[in-house]
Copies of this chain bind each other. A is one copy, B any other.
Amino acid sequence: MEKKEMSETIIALSKNAMEAWLKGNPTPYLNLYSNDFTYFDPSTDFRLDGWEKIQELYESMRGKVYVERFDIINPKVQLNGNMAVLSFNLHMFAGDMVWKENCTEIYYFTEEKEWKIIHSHFSPTKPSLK
């Protein structure tokens, strides 16, 4: 597969998973996460390690997330061998509210020829710091 095509595939995987997640359905993201998935979430004191941990967090939020629309801004894919780093700014809108996040997702192309995410790091853009 060409690099350009691989990049587009990866961006599309995240975009589709995000589309579902921001309407309250975490299933597509959970299907993308590997067994050894690790995750930094802005709501937790420490990194979450392992698929069961992210499943627990996302299932607790199933049906509770609702965003009218979102923009994936300036997505960039850094490809090397069977790994790819996807990073983008995410702007989410609902009514008058806007949320902005910094997003990093690291993809791995498995022996089963599937892209899986092994690590994600989401954080608010320019948070107010204590």
Contacts and interface: CB of A to CB of B under 8 A. Distances in A.
Interface stretch (A4-12, A24-32, A52-60, A120-128): A120-128
If over half of A's interface residues share one DSSP class (helix, strand or loop), that class is named, otherwise mixed; here it is strand
In the assembly, how many copies of this chain are there?
2
Nearest to A122: B123
> What range describes how many residues of A lie at the interface?
35 or more
Contact of A108 (B76, B80, B123): B80
Contact of A83 (B76, B83, B121): B83
A123 B106 contact: no
A76 B38 contact: yes
Contact of A40 (B36, B46, B123): B123
Given A80-B108, A104-B40, A106-B106, A125 B45 contact: yes
Contacts of A81: 80-83
Interface of A: 36, 38, 40, 42-47, 49, 73-74, 76, 78, 80-83, 85, 87-89, 100, 102, 104, 106, 108, 118-119, 121, 123-130
Complex A-B, nearest 8 residue pairs according to Cβ-Cβ distance, in ascending order: A123-B123, A127-B127, A83-B83, A40-B102, A81-B81, A104-B121, A121-B121, A85-B119
